[in-house]
Structure 1
Amino acid sequence: FGFISYTNLPPGMVIGIAIIAAIPGGAVSNIFTFLARGNVPLSISITALTSFACLVTTPLILEFLVADFMPADFSMPAGQVAIEIGFCLLVPLLLGMSFLKKYPQYAQPFSNFCVRGSLLGIAIIVLGSLGAGRINFSYTTSTDLVLLSMFILSLTIAGIFVTKTFSLRGPERTAIEMEVVVRNVNLGLLIKVSLFPTLAGQPNPLADMVLLSLLLYGGWQLIMGFVFIVWHRRLVD
């Protein structure tokens, strides 16, 4: 809220940041925690708890943060957002937990496959959006892009500050820092579609800016995730 209030960002980028703030971590944060030698059970537990909580918190956070930036005739589809989160986030999570319990020997390879599939899906969305002209950097400025990068840096610093304040051990710090920074961008894209349904032949610069913000954050979080992996592995070694 403070970041949105004290930066003069365009409405589309504000909505994108609000969506990022409202979504939990996901499988990618769990994998990154594993690669960084963090506390994987803690990471999975945080992901599960925040995934259940976001059924309620995500519509509320979005309503609170973005209501002033939406068109006058806009109505927050809170019920639709909650249902889509349930079907597209919680159902796969429960299936994954069941798979882990029944086939623990295959859980890690299957998880890696799912993460790669998720990244491939984002890549397809990027290419498709570029081809359709929905990713247009003319809607933004270099200052806006710098401020967006500052947002992820502020999340990174906040995660480090919290873990240092409570004097957590290394593996626990790694798990929490990953959960703070690495968000479920796929879910963010789903929420974007719920808020701004695509209509053939009708351009929507506001929706395109939201899409651009989410995809840029997705790229930035991968970079920060790899930085965390290298940093924490060196601390362990």
Structure 2
Amino acid sequence: MQRVQAIGDLVGRWFPVIVVAAGAFALAVPELFAGWSAAVPWLLALIMLGMGMTLRPADFSYIARRPAAFAIGVVAQYVLMPAAGWLLTTVFSLPPEIAVGVILVACAPGGTASNVMVFLARGDVALSVAMTSVSTLLAPVLTPLLVLLLAGRFLPVAPADLFLSIVQVVLVPVVLGFLLRRFASGFTDRVTPALPLVSVLGITAVVLIVVAGSADSVLSAGLLILLVVVLHNLLGLAVGYGVARACGLDVPARRAVSIEVGMQNSGLAATLGTVHFGPAAALPGAVFSVWHNVSGSALAGFWARRTAREEQPADASG
């Protein structure tokens, strides 16, 4: 299992490159992945099962210890990113399916990789885990309602169908994973080292399927989609940090809120787009999967180096 963990760590470091290569391959030979769209919800469910296995009751104790910081983070998650997504679809007059895809990303809960990025950034990991966990549990209710509100002008939205899909591919697997850790800890301890590798392979497979299924849209509007995704992510990171600072949170908490707001569960967005709106609606989620790992890694590295420089004089004098 140590070898599997080492492979997972290596693959995780090269994840952005792997996903970009997968997208290019899918674009070159889309016919190889024709008819695979039905696998997308199952892939996300597997990833969310792994997330559930990493949760512990103690992860939710942060809410009682620092309720204000937690509330600021979750409200920012479900207000700032949806608002930014709506603004971008309006400014760029995106085609309906692409616009819905951007809204789906905007209204998704926090991404599964955000906790790692916050750890690398020397941020408040406990806050990050609490935000990811609770925003995921709130997703079955909040995501369909926000999508209906913001995307209903582009395409018909059935919130009940979205609710059911999110329960099936997110809530049930997360709860099942949590229960497995609680009542079958020996099993989860054995498989946990492999979870990063499973997540990377799962997201890569989703990107392959989504890009292949929307190859025409990539060729016709790929640069525009990339621009909107980059702006959306950067707005989330910047405004998340700004709101946390304005509310008086300490620096580690600001970093956690910034990364949590800026990094979305793009796999969920791609899944909902594939199942309910068409391949093109899944494309922003697939592109976001690549980009937010690139920007998150870069920002985490910058903050880690900055913290190391600030701590150096104190270490030297001690």
Give the TM-score band, short-chain normalised. 0.7 to 0.9
Q: Distance in 1 between matches of 2:253 and 2:191?
A: 24
Q: Distance in 2 between matches of 1:125 and 1:194?
A: 13
Does the 8 Å contact 1:34/1:40 carry over to 2? yes
* 2:144 matched residue in structure 1: 59
Report Cα offsets for 1:126-152 as digits up to 9, x if no partner: 33445x453332231634532332222
Q: Distance in 2 between matches of 1:30 and 1:108?
A: 21
* 1:157 matched residue in structure 2: 238
* 2:267 matched residue in structure 1: 186
Report Cα offsets for 1:101-159 as digits up to 9, x if no partner: 5649x76981x6323312211212333445x4533322316345323322222112111
Q: Percent identity?
A: 25
Q: CA deviation at 1:29?
A: 1.2
1:134 aligns with 2:205: no
1:79 aligns with 2:157: no
In structure 2, list runs of 5 or more residues that go unmatched.
1-85, 309-318
1:1-237 → structure 2 map (5 Å cutoff) = 1-70=86-155, 74=156, 76-98=157-179, 103=185, 110=192, 113-130=194-211, 132=212, 134-136=214-216, 137-140=218-221, 142-196=223-277, 207-237=278-308
Q: Distance in 1 between matches of 2:136 and 2:91?
A: 29
The CA RMSD over aligned residues, in Å, is 2.6
Alignment coverage as a number of residue pairs: 221
Q: Distance in 2 between matches of 1:128 and 1:29?
A: 23
Q: Distance in 1 between matches of 2:280 and 2:198?
A: 25
Greater helix fraction, Structure 1 or Structure 2:
2
Q: Distance in 1 between matches of 2:93 and 2:296?
A: 27
* 1:204 matched residue in structure 2: none
- Indicate the structure whose relative CO is greater, using CA pairs within 8 Å and at least 6 residues apart: 1
Q: Distance in 1 between matches of 2:252 and 2:94?
A: 36
Q: Distance in 2 between matches of 1:22 and 1:213?
A: 13
Q: Which amino acid aligns with 2:148?
A: E
Q: Distance in 1 between matches of 2:250 and 2:180?
A: 30
Which has the greater radius of gyration?
2
SS at match of 1:226: helix
- Flag the 1:157–1:65 CA change in 2: closer, same or farther, 3 A: same
Q: CA deviation at 1:18?
A: 0.3
Name whichever of 216-225 and 94-103 sits farther off: 94-103
Q: Distance in 1 between matches of 2:269 and 2:181?
A: 26
* 1:201 matched residue in structure 2: none
TM-score, with structure 1 as normaliser: 0.81
Report Cα offsets for 1:61-110 as digits up to 9, x if no partner: 1111111211xxx4x33222212222322233334444555649x76981
In structure 1, list runs of 5 or more residues that go unmatched.
197-206
Q: Distance in 2 between matches of 1:25 and 1:107?
A: 24
Does the 8 Å contact 1:139/1:209 carry over to 2? no
SS at match of 1:8: coil
